[in-house]
Amino acid sequence: MNVKEMIAWLETQPQDAIVEVVCTESYSGSWTVERNATTEKFDVIKHAELYDWTNNKFVKPNDPHYNKKVLTLGYSD
């Protein structure tokens, strides 16, 4: 996906969503910020998820995702 395609795809997403970029490391299961380039092409089907936490009774007011939409971009191995 190139920048132009990414922008067009982002325009289809809720514009008030918070964007998080993450990757998981299979040996530890921890979440880290992805800082290294990858040779795999970004695929919104495999590497993006929109979570809508608005009006979710299980997300409490002290949670950073409380009453928010979160667009998570990243990789897991």
- Domain count of the fold of the chain: 1
What pLDDT is attached to residue 75? 65
For residue 61, tell me if it sits in a domain.
yes
Within-domain flag for 58: yes
Q: How wide is the angle at C-alpha 21 spanned by C-alphas 62 and 71, nearest 5°?
A: 65
| Both structure tokens of 58 | 């299980």
Task: Give the pair of three-digit tokens for residue 1.
Answer: 């996906």
Q: For residues 7-36, b (16+ Cβ closer than 10 Å) or e, as one string?
A: eeeeeeeeeebeebeebeeeeeeeeeeeee
Asked whether the whole model's pTM tops 0.85, one would answer: no
Is residue 30's pLDDT more than 70? no
10 dihedral zone (left: phi>0; alpha: psi -120 to 50; beta): alpha
List the structure tokens of 76. Answer: 């897991």
Provide the mean pLDDT of the chain.
80
* Residue 71 covered by a domain: yes
The answer to the question of residue 63 being in a domain is yes
Is 3 domain-assigned?
no
What is the pLDDT at residue 19?
87
Q: Determine the structural domain holding residue 28 and report its residue range.
A: 16-36+43-76
65 found inside a domain: yes
